[in-house]
Amino acid sequence: MVISGIVMITFSFRQKVTLIIDNETQEVVSFALRPVTVLRAAGVEVHPEDKLSPPLKTFWLSSNTIHLQRAQPIQIVAGENTTSLVSAERIPANLLLEAGYPLFPGDRILWNAAVIDQDAPLPSRRAYLLQLQQAQPVTVITDDGSITFYSSQASLGMALLEAGVQITPEDTLSLDPETPLDRALTVSLRRAKLLTVSVNGHTVSGFSSALTVGQALSDLGLALQDLDYSEPSEESALPEDGTIRIVRIKEALVLQKEELPYQSSYQPDPETELDQFSVVQSGQVELIVNRIRIRYANGEEIGRVEDENWQASKSQDGIIGYGTKVVIRTEVINGQTIEYWRKISVYATSYAPFSQGGIYTGTTSTASGIPLEKGIVAVLVSWYRAMKFQKVYIPGYGYGTIADTGGGIPGRPWVDLGFSDDDYESWHFWVPMYFLTPVPSYIPYLLP
């Protein structure tokens, strides 16, 4: 070539250049070592948003390698905001900064719903969707003071766990652990306290973060009931030493009955057999009830109060019917058939002129004037007046006639069986006594 009388000689020779596009490598043969020439030879078009190294207008390559990072569409979601851009940047932190979201400690970047390293290059893709979880300040107030930390976790509970703030089931948190961490949060944390409760002679221990004794006892399943009380009282704050005493109060009602007896009268009952009784009208006692309230504290009586008495029932006199119906029966006793109209049980003793320990009484006279001998039956004066000369039969003794009186045995229906000195027998036992027919004109329906 001749330029203005100067002859210039140019040499052209082919060289290989390594072209790396989005981490993919290819070899390009070029006669000139200029980026524009190499890319033209490779048929690669460069857009303004692409990232090229060295720059496109570099006059001469210092090395045989060209890096091209294609710009890709980027979407960044931050809370309710979405930002779109086209960039060849692959470092997540730089992409966020480019979109106007500088990162702060605790912020997190998610890609495909997974947290990624904000300084590690993203793999090659045709498009990217990134999510920014901006850290929010969390202030935790406890009895010992307060702490503040930043977290980009989804919920308060996860943020506390990330920050190493341990929460037991018995602790009380002013906000639900599932509260979304989409804003600055201030939360109160009341730590559970170890409590020792004495109740009914036993000791129960447990943890509670309640504000009052009553609430703490409820947490431990020892809620006060009815008249129960606690020391300290249920309205008090939890004691410093954690010791609580429950006093179980119980009341018992005692009913004391006072019965006032009723009177019974008798009237003849012709439908009832002699010496039998019927109830014409039932008697009713007057019942007075006293109600006493007895109060116990932990099983020991601490007082009693007597309520007003009341009348549970009114008295009513009874009427007893005594039988006046005479029934004549027969019975065979020791081979003898007897006919009788009354049969009673009596306690029989015996006497004779020479009885009473062999001391002679000096007389054989009786109340009826009949001489004392076997067959004379002595009874109480009250019986004698109503039964004088009535014929009776006593098994083991035989026939007899009520013809004498005696002192008797208190509380027993008594007869004294007469004997002569020659045939005297000692009697001291119960025996039936039959009143033989004919039936007398006068009958003592109620035996005195």
User: Per residue in 57-112, pLDDT tens?
Assistant: 787 777 788 888 888 999 999 888 999 999 988 999 999 999 898 988 888 899 99
Q: What is the pLDDT of residue 378?
A: 97
**For residue 6, what pLDDT band results from cuts at 50, 70 and 90?**
very low
Q: What is the pLDDT of residue 428?
A: 96
Residue 407: other Cβ atoms inside 10 A:
10
Query: C-alpha 396: how far from its chain's center?
Result: 74
3-state secondary structure of 251: strand
Query: C-alpha 230: how far from its chain's center?
Result: 20
If one compares 50 and 215, the residue with the highest pLDDT of the two is: 215
3-state secondary structure of 419: coil
pLDDT surpasses 60 at 362: no
If one compares 448 and 400, the residue with the highest pLDDT of the two is: 400
Domain boundaries, the chain: 14-69, 72-133, 136-190, 193-247, 252-324, 329-436
pLDDT surpasses 50 at 227: yes
The top-level CATH class assigned to 252-324 is mainly beta
The top-level CATH class assigned to 72-133 is alpha beta
Please choose, from the candidates 159, 163, 191, 196, the residue with its C-alpha nearest in 3D space to the C-alpha of residue 178.
Answer: 159
Q: What is the pLDDT of residue 379?
A: 97
Query: C-alpha 330: how far from its chain's center?
Result: 73
Give the tens place of pLDDT for each residue, 163-183.
899 999 999 999 999 999 888
In this prediction the pTM is 0.47
- Angstrom distance (rounded) from CA 379 to CA 390: 12
pLDDT surpasses 80 at 158: yes
One-letter amino acid identity for 201?
G
What Rg do the C-alpha atoms of the chain give, in angstroms? Answer: 63
pLDDT surpasses 50 at 356: no
Q: Which residues of 290-311 are buried (b: 16+ CB within 10 A; e: fewer)?
A: eeeeeebeeeeeeeeeeeeeee
Task: Please give the CATH number for the structural domain made up of 136-190.
Answer: 3.10.20.90
One-letter amino acid identity for 209?
S
- Count of alpha carbons within 13 Å of 110, Cβ hemisphere only? 13
Q: Give the CA distances from residue 202 to residues 198, 280, 285, in Å, rounded to whole numbers and listed in that order.
A: 6, 62, 49
**β-strands 15-21, 24-30: how paired?**
antiparallel
Mean pLDDT of the 307-316 span: 81
- Angstrom distance (rounded) from CA 266 to CA 234: 67
Please choose, from the candidates 99, 97, 95, 105, the residue with its C-alpha nearest in 3D space to the C-alpha of residue 81.
Answer: 99
Mean pLDDT of the 12-18 span: 74
Mean pLDDT of the chain: 88
pLDDT surpasses 70 at 140: yes
Per cent of the chain over pLDDT 90 is 54
Could you tell me the two tokens for 109? 């970047």
**For residue 1, what pLDDT band results from cuts at 50, 70 and 90?**
very low
Q: What is the pLDDT of residue 288?
A: 85
Angle (CA) 63 64 67, round 5°: 90
Domains 72-133 and 329-436 share a fold: no
pLDDT surpasses 90 at 437: yes
Give the tens place of pLDDT for each residue, 234-273.
999 999 999 999 998 888 888 878 888 889 899 999 999 9
Taking a C-beta distance cutoff of 8 angstroms, is the pair 433, 413 a contact? no
Q: What is the pLDDT of residue 13?
A: 59
pLDDT surpasses 50 at 26: yes
- Angstrom distance (rounded) from CA 291 to CA 306: 6
Q: What is the pLDDT of residue 358?
A: 46
Burial (Cβ within 10 Å: 0-12, 13-18, ≥19) of residue 331: middle
Distance spanning both ends of the chain, measured CA to CA: 178
Residue in the block written with tokens 């018992």: 252
Angle (CA) 320 322 327, round 5°: 150
Taking a C-beta distance cutoff of 8 angstroms, is the pair 109, 116 a contact? yes
Task: Please give the CATH number for the structural domain made up of 329-436.
Answer: 2.40.40
